[in-house]
Chain A
């Protein structure tokens, strides 16, 4: 499974997750999760964009 924001491999054991449109997304860090929640459609449609700046 991939982090939709940075593209890292993440497991379902990750503590960073959110649900969007009925699907659960897992993240490598809270940065990626926060970033995703700001703009979920962009990441779902356009794929990972690499590390967000802090």
Chain B
């Protein structure tokens, strides 16, 4: 460690030209010359991009940045429909709330780093980087060089041992500090040493690191106040003989440690429900008991009534009732018998099950949820820029206030030196900047956890903020507004036997319309050259060329007039028309009725049948029908010019629209949440209401937390400064410290009351 590690940032500040950097990116999905043109255009359009060279042959893009951000380049590439090969690592860093922004900026300035996210409350840091420029080791080394402890081992991420670490320090403080109250100066001096210098070491080290990184945090205040009190007492003991407060110094450290420990404990408790779901005791059929994370696909586990299902699997034997609220949001138990799928983390309320494990380790639903949450919880809300600004000036201001108060009391009010020093120390000890830093992350985490309990998974925390600005909700129809259980309402066969051929062909597809048509006949014909095309399917059935599809597709390819929602051509002649129906979901009718009052609602559907009109008419909303996936994206883009747009649809077929919308809400139809596009995954349409309600609660909570932290300081600091001295009220440093400690504890606790 030397001075050299500080240089990059210093130089950047001194000379902005240093910001010029060259990055080579590996582009995925580039397979033609258009891509080269599209990408070059998209990247060059970003501010701060000096030069772009996209190479189709190598699949790489060279970008010269001058002030531009790699993050913007990556998002432009993704918006253009391509992807970039990036890598990611997750770690846990010990950092105070006030420093986290500074650390994030530092990491993002490193070469090759696309984005860094830090959850200041848990210390989880997620860094996304370009493996062609840098490596995770190199980034980790840079972080450590800055003086931060970084763990990347998986066990360390989930099992936070913060409380245990703090307890040892607290124990020393709590056992020794009371004895410093005994009025024997030499004893006070000796006893205060372990408290101030052992128990308080984390504050002194934290302060040193902060100052070295040119920032200020709560540790600076604690360290400064306890050391000032102690050093003054020592001088007094040796030379001045004016008064000692070794006891104040010791109690101050102890009280703040107690507060920190309590805060860490509360945070850990809030994490516990999720951690317990990740690591469940599993009883294998062999009788062996293992941690659920050690299970492998193919293991058979036994679950008894009242126990948690340890992993995703299929019921192999037995039957029972399971509460799957973590997955479906439904609090009532569902019956499971042999062959039914079960989700790890759900509870068997009665019965006995033997379960064949089908997904284990990282692939389980719970593991995916935890990974998604970890990322979501690192979100930065715009309001954090404000709290960062407050934090930034907060500590220096407090130090200044402390100095001024000392001068006023000592030189102007002619109080004793001891009294004046006590006041100065009390001010340092009373003020707490951590409340501001905690206000947002705590509220967001608690909000996200609340949602999870209802089976709602927030994959992108920013969506909570963006949802607030949404003006339009766009719903996909099939499977979202309607049940997706399409039925053939009516059909007309112009050539006998057509439907039999169509049914055989449709059996090859999993599209809801295909499934409905497939049920029309059970006779199986031989299908060759099967193709799924937008708007229909094609294949050779028993040697006949059969095309089943929507009117647009049929018109382009067949002779004759179509009149159905779907038509069948045999050898390119229209041979049958079918009319479909798809019942509206009960919860959709109610939900849209509610949403209509506050939002503009649009139904966007690929369905061009008359039935779509009926659905829209019935719910009374605007309809855009017959849209291709690309046209849905265009619609979202257009609506975005009028304000925020949320798209609610199925996460797989509507992936592009979900990505384009400000907030993409995917209706889950399976357990593989990683494959869904979208920012939020909801188990059913009804949970959208809960999501919106919880969101407004969280936003309100953030505001309350910030106001609370401000008010708290605004009251405590003046009292510590001796404003109420004329009434005989002063705040000794150790009590001021209780106030400081309780500020962040109360913000943490208040966040729970949502």
Whether A18 pairs with B41 at a CB distance below 8 angstroms is: no
Contact A28 B32 (CB under 8 A): yes
Q: Are A17 and B533 in contact (CB-based, < 8 A)?
A: yes
Evaluate contact between B572 and A54: CB separation under 8 angstroms.
no
Q: Is the pair A18, B34 in contact by a Cβ cutoff of 8 Å?
A: no
- Tell whether B37 is near chain A: CB-to-CB under 8 Å: yes
Q: Contact flags (1/0) for A20-33 with B, using CB distance below 8 Å?
A: 11101000111110
Q: Of A21, A28, A29, A32, which one neighbours B556 at CB under 8 angstroms?
A: A21
Contact indicator B34/A29 (Cβ below 8 Å): yes
Confirm or deny: B538 has a beta carbon within 8 angstroms of a beta carbon on chain A. yes
Task: Report Cα–Cα, A28/B34, bound state, in Å.
Answer: 8
Report chain B residues within 8 Å CB of A19: 531, 533, 536, 538, 547, 553, 556-557
Distance of A44 from chain B, by nearest CB (Å): 12
Q: Tell me whether A22 and B534 are in contact (CB under 8 A).
A: no
Q: Are B545 and A22 in contact (CB under 8 A)?
A: yes
Q: Is B4 an interface residue (CB 8 A)?
A: no
Q: In the complex the two chains form, is A24's CB within 8 Å of B556's CB?
A: no
Bound together, the chains give a CA A20 to CA B33 distance in angstroms of 24
B632 to chain A, nearest CB (A): 12
B557 pairs with A22, CB closer than 8 A: yes
Residue of A nearest to B556 (CB): A20
Chain B residues within an 8 Å CB radius of A10:
31-32
**Contact: B33 with A6, CB < 8 Å?**
yes
**B670: interface (CB < 8 Å):** no
Mask, B5-49, CB within 8 Å of A = 1, is 000000000000000000000000001111101100100000000
Q: Which residues on A sit within 8 Å (CB–CB) of B31?
A: 8, 10, 28-29
Instruction: State A28–B82 Cα separation when bound (angstroms).
Output: 13
Closest B-chain residue to A28, C-beta based?
B32
Q: Is the CB of B545 within 8 A of A51?
A: no
Q: How far is the CA of A29 from the CA of B630 in the complex (A)?
A: 12
Inter-subunit contact B572/A51 (CB<8 Å): no
Q: A28 contacts which chain B residues (CB < 8 A)?
A: 31-32, 34-35
B81 sits at the interface (CB 8 A): yes
Which residues from chain B contact A29 at a C-beta distance below 8 Å? 31-32, 34-35, 38, 81
Task: Pick the most buried of B33, B37, B38, B572: most chain A CB atoms within 10 A of its CB.
Answer: B33
Q: Nearest Cβ distance between residue B248 and chain A, in whole angstroms?
A: 70
Beyond A24-B533, A30-B81, is A40–B34 a contact (Cβ under 8 Å)? no
A29–B553 Cα distance when bound, in Å, is: 19
Residue of A nearest to B536 (CB): A19
Instruction: Verify A22–B32 contact, CB threshold 8 A.
Output: no
CB pair A34 B630 closer than 8 Å: yes
The 22 sampled A-B contact pairs (Cβ below 8 Å) are: A6-B33, A8-B31, A8-B32, A8-B33, A8-B34, A10-B31, A10-B32, A19-B538, A19-B557, A20-B556, A20-B557, A21-B557, A22-B547, A22-B557, A22-B572, A24-B533, A24-B538, A28-B31, A29-B35, A51-B37, A52-B34, A54-B38
Tell me the B residues contacting A by CB distance below 8 Å.
31-35, 37-38, 41, 81, 531, 533-534, 536, 538, 545, 547, 553, 556-557, 572, 630
Considering the complex of A and B, which 5 residue pairs feature the smallest CB-CB distances, nearest first? Answer: A28-B32, A8-B32, A51-B34, A19-B533, A20-B556
| Seed contacts A22-B545, A22-B547, A28-B34; 4 additional CB < 8 Å A-B pairs | A24-B531, A29-B31, A30-B81, A32-B32
